[in-house]
Amino acid sequence: MNTGYMEEIRLNKYLASCGVCSRRDADKLIEQGAVTVNGQIAAAGMKVTAQDEVCVHGRRLSGPDRKVVLAYYKPLGVVCTEHDAHADRIVAEEVDYPIRVTYAGRLDKDSEGLLLLSNDGDLINAMMRGANGHEKEYVVTVTEECSEKALQTMRNGVYLDELGVTSRPCRIERLGPKTMRVILTQGLNRQIRRMYRTQGYEVSSLKRTRVINIGLGGLKPGEFRELTQEETNRLYEICGL
């Protein structure tokens, strides 16, 4: 057990610091009885120290890992999931890295581009919390030329009937007749595709090029890299950690 945690900390925070999952998902694991402490089923709200033996689904945790953040270029066809018997390619199997990492924010199978992955559950929570309004930037191409009226309507926010919500105002910059740069501050399910569909347009390609302060840079599909210390420090600062 890592001796860096001699003080008591909440079990859900400990699981997140080990890269198991986010704190919210850790609470679910504890509620399901999947977590044991010193051989006993863990209780919600309990605290642990480095001297305790903590297991998830019977697997003993070795303690908090070194905090890492990866930038990964998710190719088309790769599914953002850790377990899916029906998916040919999943993120968990595509990123060959010695420390277990989890993605922050999904990209659907038919989209490509930047995913940030980390073993820090607190950072993942902070990046994904919609109220924080962190920016995500995309290059979007539609099947036919998009009118300026449609773009302005989407910039102001549109009602997404399938989700029952109105999208937040966003930035859309025209790059060509059919291609635009879109910057969102929320991450609704298939949000951009749904937004364009409200205006009668179908998205033919979608690439995420930036998440908060991290850009895709020179990464090619399937490649990943560790963030520099400067990038990591700035990301944590922006996320209030």
| Same domain for 154 and 141 | yes
Residue 236 has pLDDT above 90, yes or no: yes
- pLDDT at 131 exceeding the cut of 90: no
Interval 157-180 mean pLDDT = 96
Residue 1 pLDDT greater than 50, yes or no: no
Give the confidence band of 205 by pLDDT, cuts at 50, 70, 90: very high
Residue 87 falls inside a structural domain? yes
Residues 110, 168, single domain; the answer is: no
Same domain, 29 and 78: no
Q: Please indicate, yes or no, whether residues 87 and 103 belong to a single structural domain of this protein.
A: yes
Given 40, 60, 80, which residue is the final one in a domain?
60
Min mean pLDDT across 1-5, 96-100, 133-137 is at 1-5
pLDDT surpasses 80 at 225: yes
Position 23 scores a pLDDT of 80
| Residue-level pLDDT at 166 | 96
Q: Would you say residue 182 lies in a domain?
A: yes
Domain presence at residue 1 = no
**Do both 223 and 188 map to the same domain?**
no
- 148, part of any domain: yes
Domain end call among 21, 43, 60: 60
In this structure, what CATH number is given to the domain that contains residue 107?
A: 3.30.70.580
Confidence band of 65 (pLDDT split at 50, 70, 90): low
Neighbour count for residue 234 (Cβ, 10 Å): 15
Domain match, 50 and 75 both: no
CA 45, CA 139: separation in Å to the nearest integer? 43
Same domain for 156 and 113: no
Q: Of all residues in the chain, what percent carry a pLDDT higher than 70?
A: 93
* Same-domain check for residues 207 and 139: yes
**Its pTM surpasses 0.75:** no
Residue 50 lies in a domain: yes
Q: What is the pLDDT of residue 5?
A: 45
Q: Determine the pLDDT at residue 200.
A: 96
Look at residue 2 in the predicted model and tell me its pLDDT. Answer: 35
Give the per-residue pLDDT at 132.
Answer: 81
Task: Determine, yes or no, domain membership for 130.
Answer: no
**pLDDT tens for residues 6-35?**
578 889 888 887 777 778 888 999 999 999
Question: Which domain does 191 fall in, by range?
Answer: 135-211
**DSSP states along 116-167:** EEES-HHHHHHHH-GGG---EEEEEEESSPPPHHHHHHHHH--EETTTTEEP
Identify which of 30-34, 50-54, 138-142, 232-236 has the greatest average pLDDT.
Answer: 138-142
Q: What is the pLDDT of residue 70?
A: 94
How confident is the model at residue 64, as a pLDDT? 66
Residue 238: pLDDT band by 50, 70, 90 thresholds? very high
Q: What is the 3-state secondary structure (H, E, C) of 168-234?
A: CCCEEEECCCCEEEEEECCCCCCHHHHHHHHCCCCEEEEEEEEECCEECCCCCCCCEEECCHHHHHH
Percent of the chain with pLDDT over 90: 61
Same domain, 118 and 93: yes
CATH code, domain carrying 49: 3.10.290.10
Q: Assess whether 200 and 225 both reside in one domain.
A: no
Could you give the number of structural domains in the chain? 3
Residue 40 resides in a domain: yes
Quick check: is 25 in a domain?
yes
110 as an active site residue: the answer is no
Residues 78 and 56 in one domain: no
Q: Which of 25, 52, 65, 108 is catalytic?
A: 108
